[in-house]
């Protein structure tokens, strides 16, 4: 399972509603709206994940 970096929900890679590549890594989303949010400011969500924060910002 992957984690939706926007809302923090667990997402099955095979059933993900949307996905995108960023800095060589693929991110999966529960909904296209989460992908759109991520793409507005991907660094914000990637940084939060790297820092080990949980859940939504
Ligand atoms: Zn989501």
* Interatomic CA distance for residues 30 and 36, integer angstroms: 11
pTM of the model: 0.79
Total Cβ atoms within 10 A of residue 5: 27
Query: Which domain, by its residues, includes 16?
Result: 1-28
pLDDT of residue 36: 98
**Structural domain includes residue 52:** no
pLDDT of residue 22: 94
**Structural domain includes residue 39:** no
Q: How far is the CA of 7 from the centre of ligand 1 (A)?
A: 4
For residues 5 and 53, which has the higher predicted lDDT (pLDDT)?
5
Angstrom distances, CA of residue 36 to CA of 25, 39, 52: 17, 5, 22
pLDDT of residue 39: 96
pLDDT of residue 47: 73
Q: How far is the CA of 24 from the centre of ligand 1 (A)?
A: 20
Neighbours of ion ligand 1 (CB under 5 A): 4, 6-7, 9, 30, 34
DSSP per residue over the chain, as a string? -EE-TTT--EE-TTT-SEEEEETTEEEEESSHHHHHHHHHSHHHHHHHHHTT--S--
pLDDT at 3 over 90: yes
Q: How far is the CA of 50 from the centre of ligand 1 (A)?
A: 18
For residue range 20-50, what is the model confidence (pLDDT) as tens digits?
999 999 999 999 999 999 999 999 998 755 5
**Structural domain includes residue 1:** yes
Count of domains observed in the chain? 1
């Amino acid at each position: 399972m992957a984690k939706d970096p926007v809302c923090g929900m667990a997402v099955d890679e095979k059933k993900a509603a949307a996905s995108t590549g960023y800095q060589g890594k693929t991110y999966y989303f529960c909904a296209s709206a989460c992908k759109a949010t991520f793409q507005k400011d991907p660094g914000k969500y990637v940084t939060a994940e790297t820092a080990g924060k949980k859940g939504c910002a």
